Structure 1
Amino acid sequence: MSIRQSRFSRRTILQGLGVSLALPWMESLAPRVSAAEAIALPPKRMAFLFVPNGVHLPNWTPSRLGYGYDLPATLAPLAPVQDDLMVISGLTHDKGRANGDGPGDHARSASVFLTGAQPRKTDGLDIRSGVSVDQVAAQNSAGATKFASLELGCEPGRGSGNCDSGYSCSYSSNVSWSSESSPVGKETNPRSVFERLFGDGSTPQRDKHAMQREQLRKSILDYVADDARSLHSKLGNNDRRKLDEYLNGVREVEQRIERADEFTFNEDVDYPMPAGVPKDYGEHIRLMSDMMVLAFQTDRTRIATFMLADAGSNRSYRQIDVPDGHHELSHHRGDAAKHEKISRINRFHIEQLAYFLQKLKSTPEGNGSMLDHSMICYGSGLSDGDRHNNENLPVLLAGGGGGTIDSGRHVRVRPETPMCNLFLSMLDRFGTPVDFIGDSTGRLSELRV
């Protein structure tokens, strides 16, 4: 085993049996890179998180614009990161509207979320949407990291068949599209994500090595222990603490995945989940959030998408005393009791987002935190689940984008401003500018004062 430098990221790599464990950027290792490369560190990251069925806007939208905006009940869990957060009101996805295609708003809301393109109404193989913003960035920054992008979810969905009024299940189950006809499938099993991120070699090789480690009942860290000890002696005190904290974090995630694998599911479980997934939905989301943090921290990738649930999901939320199906509740017809339950679901999702953002904020990097160098876009392709409308979408943008975003504000854009204008602006800041994406009409000037 030997410590080596990654050709692309210039981050130290620890190696062992089928394991390649990249480490965070450290001051002690800075002299190994050129001055120009040191200025470029740390890199920028982007993540896009999708939630289905819209939100209850009265409990979501701040009453004040600008700095010092109020956090309504739904957004209250974001108080620790409010200064790192921009609430953007008024964005629209026109191509999520029927535009002559009739029903199918939920399927359209997912397919349009990151593409801004009108999906072809079909439940056959001739699906068509557009290239999503994450894949535009991935294709324009190919080779910068081991994985161009990471696609995650909590519901496996279906890749074929009719899932919404004549729309293919491919539309409902995916937000990432590498071409007009190619959705990028998501991974829902945290263990599989972990092995993909930290296992060396081809898929069969990773599976073989994972099986060997499983049979030996050893942590992934046991196989890089020699490298870790050697590196530890070469680091300064601050970086030693950073290394210890990082390795402890990797092991904690490993242990949680192992505990999740111990669960089996009874036939009376409300919603089926794939084997190896935590029984608790909140823990599932948090584990996937940890996977994104680890992937960013080790520079395995700089681009991720995460569907907390598929479009039109009718998952129940018994853990917060909402046994009703989410989709059914979203057709509230103005019922105050249903509004209250929807708001509870919305807040539950925001609590998971807060966990992710605080993880990024508590991870030091360069002169700030990992959140300072990230752009995290969270939202839904529908505004109100009952009206199925696509204007005034619920959108949050967290992170400083490497000092290019003036956060800590609530901004309201002009009506009918395409959400793709936000994506154009994010691509600029990510270093992968393009002339247009989807139905964009220009940049979103509101990101800076």
Structure 2
Amino acid sequence: MNSRRQFLKGVAATLALPSLDAFGGSLPAAAAHPRRLAFVYVPNGVNLSRWLPPGETLQFADSLAPLAGMEKHISLLRHLDHDKARANGDGAGDHARANATFLTGCQARKTAGADIRAGISVDQIAARQIGHETRLPSLELTTDPARRSGQCDSGYSCAYQFNLSWLDEDTPAPAERDPRLVFEKLFGSGNAREDAARRVRRKSILDFVRGDAKRLQSRLGPTDRGKVDEYLTSVRSLEKRIENAERHRPAKPPIERPDGIPASYAEHIRLQFELMALAFQTDSTRVSTFLLAHDGSNRPFPELGIANGHHAISHHRNDAELLDQIAVIDRFYAEQFAWFLQRLEETKEGEGSLLDHSMIVYGSGIGDGNRHNHDDLPLLLAGGGGGSLNPGRIVRAGEGTPMTNLHLALLDRMGVHAERVGDSNGVLTGI
């Protein structure tokens, strides 16, 4: 253990290490390969006829076809609801409630003012209990600009729609949109001035640790040397992608600094997924959320040949052309998620992979965007949960089961005690 402490002490940028056999052999299995928990949100519901399996066994339909070959790592969940995302006397505002309720299971107070209220989210329940074991208690990601005030949906504050994670009932945990800032949060020195100076000098974080890394690798076996090489290569590759995004952004007024956000939406999503993977790989955090886009997002997809906004299309009125466009968007999001899962599967950890030790919920707080329904939500559960999950199936809960029962089941597997999450009424079994 002295080698690792000396290495970390000498790393100016506090670069975290991946799990190595040389350092984990004397640790309990749970400490050597901890479980990770993530939630990935898809906006505006889906085209259910092209999203759900055609039969009784897990076979991915058109919209989820990019996940083909990953069936053994994924379960499709049926009949999980979010009752608190329904109006329940509050009128319109399903998009705001879908986001606010997805991880909290609580009815959002209908207000566009500062008196917002939802509930602590499942990820933050976990972060409170296990967050002290990692550098960051949790990591919140998005592709949207931050919004914590103003009116966004039928009298609801924008805070509901633009945040998945809630620290407590009236405090959302703001998500980070800029991959550069996420990267610095994970791998920076903690000194903003030093990190800014390094960027001006175009120095890689790896330039500050190269000598320490070589000394460490001289003490490692072949397997661990390969892990360190692969990890450092991944870090540098990610740096280059962010730098490239900064250099090739369209010209902006000189008063605004480059923000590292790619012009390509797909590249933006994959950069954020890559950062989540590295955060898990280095045990910088074990809990993360990713809002791919807020519910109600009206982003067009010209790269897919879709000029109209996603939200407008989601009100399809059973128009065949609009339903086809929704399916294309659903498939686009599935492609990005498949890329992330493959990235986790390729990252070896002990006898398995990072995916084997993760639990990742992917889905939407709305079923069909035209109906704005919040029952039988489109949900996937990926990963092995450190051997605690049994993927590769369609898991059918009883009709009307709160999605928060799933949250309780995942918390239990993370070693986190919770009596309830929002409107939960039990622990989901059979997953």
Say whether the fold is shared (TM-score over 0.5): yes
Alignment correspondent of 1:210:
195
SS of structure 2 residue aligned to 1:402 = helix
Q: CA 1:333–1:38 in 2, change beyond 3 Å: closer, same or farther? A: closer
CA distance in 2, matches of 1:4, 1:86: 38
**Contact residue 121 and residue 166 of structure 2 kept, 8 A:** yes
Choose the corresponding residue for 1:16, options 11, 15, 28: 11
- How far apart, CA to CA, are the structure 2 residues paired with 1:404 and 1:38? 14
For residue 216 of structure 1, report the CA deviation from its aligned partner: 2.2
Alignment match, 2:306: 322
Q: CA deviation at 1:38?
A: 4.5
Change (3 A) 1:16 1:277: same
Distance 1:39 1:175 in 2: 28
Question: Are the aligned partners of 1:3 and 1:14 in contact in 2 as well (CA < 8 Å)?
Answer: no
Structure 2 counterpart of 1:125? 114
Is 1:115 the equivalent of 2:100? no
Spell out structure 1 runs of 4+ moving beyond 6 A.
none
Aligned to 1:59: 50
Question: Which one-letter code corresponds to 2:164 in the other structure?
Answer: V
Aligned pairs for 1:378-393 (under 5 A) are 378-393=362-377
Match of 2:248 in 1: 263
Of the structure 1 ranges 251-260 and 207-216, higher mean CA displacement relative to structure 2 is found in 207-216
List per-residue Cα deviations over 1:137-170 (Å, max 9, x = no partner). Answer: 0011131101100000001142111100000000
* Higher mean C-alpha deviation, range 38-47 or range 357-366: 38-47
Distance (whole Å) between structure 2 residues aligned to residue 320 and residue 108 of structure 1: 29
Aligned CA distance change for structure 1 residues 14 and 50 (closer, same or farther; 3 Å): farther
The correspondence of residues 128-277 of structure 1 with structure 2, limited to 5 A, is 128-201=117-190, 205=191, 207-265=192-250, 275-277=259-261
* Partners of 2:35 and 2:385 within 8 A in 1: yes
Q: Secondary structure at the match of 2:288?
A: strand
The structure-2 alpha-carbon separation of the partners of 1:15 and 1:38, relative to structure 1 and needing over 3 Å to count, comes to farther
TM-score with structure 2 length normalisation? 0.96
CA distance in 1, matches of 2:155, 2:339: 37
- Partner of 1:241, secondary structure, is helix
2: CA distance, partners of 1:278 / 1:180:
33
**Is residue 91–residue 391 contact of structure 1 (8 Å, CA) maintained in 2?**
yes
Check 1:316–1:157 CA distance in 2 against 1; reply closer, same or farther (3 A cut).
Answer: farther
- What CA distance in whole angstroms lies between the structure 1 residues aligned with 2:24 and 2:164? 37
Identity of aligned residues (%): 50
Letter in 2 for 1:151: E
TM-score (norm 1): 0.92
Whichever residue aligns with residue 229 of structure 1, its letter is: K
1:46 counterpart SS class: strand
Quote the residue 1:431 is aligned against.
415
Query: What is the rounded CA distance, in whole Å, between the counterparts of 2:30 and 2:401 in structure 1?
Result: 35
Correspondence for 1:40 among 28, 31, 55: 31
Q: Aligned partners of 2:312, 2:362: CA distance in 1, in Å? A: 22
CA contact (8 A) 2:189 2:195 kept: no
CA contact (8 A) 1:3 1:227 kept: no
How far apart are 1:413 and its partner, in Å? 1.6
Question: Partners in 1 of 2:63 and 2:279 — Cα distance?
Answer: 28
SS at match of 2:289: strand
- Contact 1:316–1:325 (Cα < 8 Å) also in 2: yes
- What secondary structure sits across from 1:323 in the alignment? coil
**Is the counterpart of residue 440 in structure 1 residue 429 in structure 2?**
no
Q: Residues 266-288 of structure 1: CA distance to partner in whole angstroms, max 9, x if unpaired?
A: 79xxxxxx832000000000000
Please say if residues 146 and 175 of structure 2, whose CA atoms lie closer than 8 Å, have aligned partners that are also in contact: no
CA distance in structure 2 between the aligned counterparts of 1:310 and 1:49, rounded to whole angstroms = 11
Could you tell me how far apart the structure 2 residues matched to 1:101 and 1:192 are?
37
Could you tell me which of 299, 305, 311 is aligned with 2:289?
Answer: 305
Cα distance in 1 between the residues matched to 2:180 and 2:409: 34
Q: Is the 8 A contact 2:120 2:166 kept in 1?
A: yes
The residue type equivalent to 1:256 in the other structure is R
| Distance change (3 Å), C-alpha of 1:157 and 1:40 | closer
Aligned pair 1:97/2:86, yes or no? yes
Query: 65, 81, 87: which one pairs with 2:76?
Result: 87
CA drift of 1:263 comes to 2.6
Aligned partners of 1:312, 1:14: CA distance in 2, in Å? 46
Secondary structure of the residue aligned to 1:432 is: coil
Q: Can you give the 5+ residue segments of structure 2 that lack an aligned partner in the other structure?
A: 253-257
Aligned-pair distance for 1:323? 1.3
Matched, 1:349 2:349: no
Answer yes or no: is the 8 Å Cα contact 2:146–2:174 preserved in 1.
no
SS at 1:384's partner residue?
coil
Are positions 1:338 and 2:300 aligned together?
A: no
2:361 to 377, 383, 393: 377
- Looking at structure 1, the residues matched to 29 and 395 of structure 2 have their Cα atoms a distance apart, in angstroms, of 34
Residues in 2 aligned to 1:190 and 1:138: alpha-carbon distance in whole angstroms: 22
Structure 1: tracts of 5 or more residues without a match? 7-11, 268-273
Q: Who is 1:30 aligned against? A: 24
Partner of 2:255: none
Distance 1:266 1:208, change over 3 A: closer
Q: Measure, in 2, the Cα distance between the counterparts of 1:399 and 1:244.
A: 25
Secondary structure of residue in 1 paired with 2:38:
strand
Amino acid at match of 1:43: P
Deviation at 1:194, TM superposition (A): 0.4
Contact kept? 1:65, 1:409, Cα under 8 Å: no
Cα deviation 1:12-67 (Å, max 9, x = unaligned): 637433x0111111112335x44xx345320000010011100000111112334x
Q: Deviations over 1:305-329 (max 9, x none)?
A: 0000012100011111111100000
Provide the C-alpha distance between the structure 1 equivalents of 2:417 and 2:195, rounded to a whole number of angstroms: 39
